[in-house]
Amino acid sequence: MPRNLASPRRLRVLAGVAALAVASTGAAYAANLTAPGGTNRHHGDQTAEVDAQIKYGKAKNVILFIGDGMGDSEITIARNYLAGAAGTLKGIDSLPLTGQYTTYALHKKDDPLSPGDDTGKPDYVTDSAASGTGWATGVKSYNGAISVGLDGTTTHQTLLEWAKTRGLKTGDVTTAEIQDATPAVQYAHVADRGCYTPAGQTVTVDGRSQKKDTTNCPGQTSIEEQLLAARPDVTLGGGRGWFDAVAGNGRSVLQNAEDSGFQVVEDKGTLTGVRSADQRKPLLGLFASGNMQTRYKATPATATGYSKPAATCRTNDTAPDGSAVTWPGTQPTLADMTDKAIKLLDNKKGFFLQVEGASIDKQDHAANACGQIGETQDLDEAVQVGMEFAKKHGDTLVLVTADHAHTSQIINAADISAASPSTIPLAGTYNLLTHDGTTMTVAYGTAQLNGSQQHTGTQLRLAGYGPGAANVVGLSDQTDMFNTIKGALSGSGLDRGHGGGRHRH
């Protein structure tokens, strides 16, 4: 049943928080113990510290950080590499209150992957679309759905749309194409996540002719056209190539954006010069033809990677279109985009902002250890920006979580070496030299070598800071986050009137 934080339940909430909360910032406890390789985590009695983190009342602003594909393994791999086993990630690990949430989707009617009629029953491994639909609308749906119900047509109001009705400014930031599933769940409603452009459109993205149109979304306008209609105050990411598609009025979607007042920027320098963004002149930042460039060069896992010398990650010098560009080139980093979005959205009435580190998932699919670490690092730096703002203002709820878990695992290379290779059920491995100066073997085993590694269905970490953050504690579901955010922004605690979510305790 839904929770609120009325005072009679204060002791119960405190008990749960004390048992389940991750440490506050490492600095708060550094005096207790010094750990080699990183900042110390919590030790001793935390009751007073946790008590101080339970903030009641209304949140003026909400910043929701999503690490796409960032399960516990992906966080741990990045932490070990960047800060050491005893260290902390300065952003992701700094939020004081944590819990776990479930992520499953639902089977739609005539699901070809489901035997018999499992309509409405759990589909245990979600994709980004169904997952994002859950937290964006409070309603579960099928894999591929963007903020629509199981019938593919019933629309559900999103957090971004709801925030606009209350006069809040809104933002949507990603390192992926802005038409991609996670950013799209806040502003679009389509039956299939691939409905980027009007039907029949082929465009050039990253130097290649590509087609993602509304063929599978009959009667629905494309995702990017719906973005123009939704008019978030700030939208930043990649996906510039898709905007060359021609809309029904004979003009490109990009021309229609400019005609309707959008400020369109395509590099960091121009973004830096933007001084305001609102409904009259919303900001649309398109910094890459497709997905934005990753921080580190590709390091694909191989069948014998576990036997190779431990490597360090190198800065990426090749853009997605194959051109020679040293990261970040002219594109802003995720931290840059987060900082700019917050500055443009900050106002007397408040704002809702979603920020996605998108390519943790994409690099995990490619069994690319350094790639996913770099993308986790980018998100961590963006979270630091959000937390700095929240700590200064005291009226901002910050949430950090993921949409689904992924395939990467930390394993013991010695165990592999001692076994016959034919008995090792792994697609590939890669050895990394960590902050501790020792070898970490990362394994990928949910697809064949050189195939796309698959999502996994495990629960995920959800961390919070600020008014209403105590609602993340314990075990919940992604749909509950919808209620937590609405409750915080409305000052009413959990939104009891919404039937889409339920908390488990």
d(CA 173, CA 239): 12
Peptide bond into 328 cis (omega under 30): yes
**CB burial string 122-133: b at 16+ within 10 A, e below:** ebebbbbbbbbb
Judge whether 131 counts as a catalytic residue.
Answer: no
- Running along the chain, 505 residues long, what does each successive block of 10 average in pLDDT? 36 41 36 39 73 85 96 94 96 95 90 74 91 97 96 97 97 98 98 95 95 95 97 98 95 97 98 97 98 95 90 96 96 98 97 96 88 96 98 96 87 68 66 92 84 86 94 94 95 50 45
- Indicate the DSSP class of residue 469: G
Contacts of 196 (CB under 8 A, 6+ apart): 177, 179, 212, 213, 222, 223, 224, 239, 242, 245
Q: Which of 73, 94, 128, 359 is catalytic?
A: 128
Inter-residue contact 133 to 479 (CB < 8 Å): no
- Indicate the DSSP class of residue 244: G
Inter-residue contact 138 to 116 (CB < 8 Å): no
H and E: helices and strands count for the chain: 14, 17
Token representation of residue 10: 């204060």
**CB burial string 168-178: b at 16+ within 10 A, e below:** bbbbbbbbbbb
Cα 355 from chain centroid? 7
Inter-residue contact 300 to 368 (CB < 8 Å): yes
d(CA 121, CA 500): 15
Domains of the chain: 7-40+53-490 (3.40.720.10)
| Cα radius of gyration (the chain) | 22
Element (H, E) at 353: strand 351-357
Residue 231 one-letter amino acid = R
Could you tell me which of 369, 410, 387 has the C-alpha nearest to residue 466?
387
The Cα angle at residue 190 between residues 187 and 191, in degrees rounded to 5: 150
Q: Give the largest CA-CA distance in the chain.
A: 66
